[in-house]
Amino acid sequence: MNPLTSSPRLPAVDPATATGKSKDLLAAVHASLGITPNMMRTMANSPAVLDGYLSINEGEIAEIPAHVAINVFTNYFNKAALTVIDFPKVESQRKAA
């Protein structure tokens, strides 16, 4: 499936029909930018996601790629070194279909 022509997995929330926290957040986006981009309208499916996105400060902008890099490095290192993982195993709570 071509991702450029497929339907979105999550719908973009229409600011005119949004309710609650999503409505407030989308109004803040529009007030700040003069438009409400589809990415933020889609994030509004979960007000916590949109709020978290809008709440990122300058320091966190620097920290986010650092945390991602550390996690990627850790994963690659453990794969390359064949590290014996000694953390307790966590079982998925999701039931098999």
pLDDT at 93 over 90: no
Decide if 71 contacts 36 (C-beta within 8 A): no
Supply the pLDDT for residue 85: 83
Reported as a single tens digit per residue, the pLDDT across 53-90 is: 999 898 998 999 999 999 999 999 999 999 998 888 77
- Each residue of 4-63: pLDDT tens digit? 668 889 999 999 999 999 999 999 999 999 999 999 999 999 999 999 999 989 899 899
Q: How far apart are CA 60 and CA 1, in angstroms?
A: 35
pTM: 0.64
Q: In this predicted structure, what is the pLDDT of residue 97?
A: 59
Q: What's the length of the chain?
A: 97
Q: What is residue 2's predicted lDDT score, i.e. its pLDDT?
A: 59
Q: Which residues contact 28 (CB under 8 A, 6 or more apart)?
A: 54
